[in-house]
Structure 1
């Protein structure tokens, strides 16, 4: 059809393509303001204050005793004699093996028991479940010095003083791991378990085949937390052991401080060796730590 007045075909506005919308780009203000500069300076100062003791420890481990006592920042001629003395004249390697065995054993057993307890408290419905979780969570408010003597009395009654079992068993149970895992399990979709129950799977099979594979990120982060906490343990090993063969690395460093009061180069070398595994573990597993905190239900 044509227009009766002009003889031109009518204009089909509906079929005409719409003009492109202007793309709104949000400009980011990258100007340096006084507040940004102040925050940057504050961050740099705090970072330097945090890392300076570590740098001083590492540099001091390569100094002689005279250079350490003179408080020079860098060694004039770096030496490995301090490390050689630590590993030859003192059974420091035995201390590190003790700490590694105790920390690894506690980590594996704690992850196993904590994951089962957290799954039961998050997914299974039984009477008194919330009360049990509240009691477990309330133990986070109790500090170690409060329960140190009662725990020692119990361990001594069981005959576990001066033994690996006395160092391992009391450290397995920790409410923090149960709480973190329960928060993670609560956030999982219930359809996964319902589908497994329809297929005839038991709760143990669901825990083993469904829950544990999904828990790898948070279990990795908890493994780092547990290992580092037990690697740096000092008060409980000092309380429960007197046998030098059971001495852990932190007690070994304390022994160094008592025996070599004037020879801080040996103490700094031992402290550097003890800190190296913790730094490596955190460097390789920092992503898992961040992901666990982000996905653990802290909303």
Structure 2
């Protein structure tokens, strides 16, 4: 039977070139879902950015404008920044917070990863019990631990010292959990090959396992640094001398008994965000790489 060609089809039945290449005019369910997702993301971004914008706005206001809700100051000024930066105490508080945050971050990266590696790659009796016991501490509110921490600090003479501020955060259960989960992705064949090559367990942990979990180390570093940089309750309790105050504790003292200088507090808070941004910029590439690798594995 002879085949039918396009020339045999009536002219009215032939699709036009515009119809062939025209885009669909209606939105499908996927398009609507994408629009909703973008709207929710935009709304979430606004909610997160607004407090930061209001902080910067307040830092540029005069004292009589602080309680105005307007986001743009009527008479912007940098006098608050000049006052805070010329206050000698601010630099001392800044250095105290920096020392405490850096040392506790280094301590967590070392001890949390070491314990996580041990619980992941070593087979010994009671390993799961130890891991569950460590995780169970996450259910204890920090407020319940303040009194035991204070009594320990008092007994060991750690009150009003750097060590007294740092010791509760030198190692965290969350860090152990995070590192253990990432060490699970390290192939045991790599560990066995390193043992055959004559490396001891510490060398295997340091030279083989640690480079493979850099995204987890970067994430842990950011979490620990931010947590200690913004810590307020425990440093307030354990310190007595103004010289040893951390930045959040020191900033809370701006003003007098009659009035709180919110414009100065917001100015100090705006300046204090600089180290956190630097830490994030340093470690963000490792975190992004880890997310991409996790997506490829999935």
TM-score when normalising by structure 1: 0.81
Moved more, 125-134 or 252-261: 252-261
Q: Secondary structure at the match of 1:69?
A: coil
Indicate conservation of the 8 Å contact 1:111/1:222, yes or no. yes
Partner in structure 2 of residue 219 of structure 1: 217
Partner in structure 1 of residue 81 of structure 2: 83
Structure 1 segments of 4+ aligned residues over 6 angstroms from their partners? 27-30, 293-297
State the distance in 1 between where 2:293 and 2:169 align: 26
State the distance in 1 between where 2:174 and 2:111 align: 13
Partner in structure 2 of residue 178 of structure 1: 176
Q: Which one of the candidate residues 150, 153, 156 is aligned to 2:154?
A: 156
Partner in structure 2 of residue 107 of structure 1: 105
How far does the alpha carbon of each residue in 1:104-154 deviate from its partner, in whole angstroms, 9 at most, with x for none? 001111111111111111111222111111111111111101111112111
TM-superposed deviation, 1:29: 11
State the distance in 2 between where 1:275 and 1:30 align: 46
Looking at CA atoms only, which structure, 1 or 2, has the larger radius of gyration? 1
How far does the alpha carbon of each residue in 1:180-208 deviate from its partner, in whole angstroms, 9 at most, with x for none? 11111122101101111112221122112
TM-superposed deviation, 1:260: 7.6
Q: Secondary structure at the match of 2:97?
A: helix
The structure-2 alpha-carbon separation of the partners of 1:287 and 1:238, relative to structure 1 and needing over 3 Å to count, comes to same
Indicate conservation of the 8 Å contact 1:103/1:230, yes or no. yes
Structure number having the greater helix percentage: 2
Partner in structure 2 of residue 31 of structure 1: 27
State the distance in 1 between where 2:93 and 2:66 align: 25
- Count of aligned residue pairs for this structure pair: 273
The structure-2 alpha-carbon separation of the partners of 1:89 and 1:208, relative to structure 1 and needing over 3 Å to count, comes to closer
The structure-2 alpha-carbon separation of the partners of 1:84 and 1:91, relative to structure 1 and needing over 3 Å to count, comes to same
Gaps of 5+ in 1: 1-26
RMSD: 2.8
State the distance in 1 between where 2:161 and 2:286 align: 33
Partner in structure 2 of residue 143 of structure 1: 141
State the distance in 1 between where 2:285 and 2:40 align: 25
Alignment of 1:139-288 (within 5 A): 139-256=137-254, 261=259, 263-288=261-286
TM-superposed deviation, 1:34: 5.5
Indicate conservation of the 8 Å contact 2:242/2:250, yes or no. no
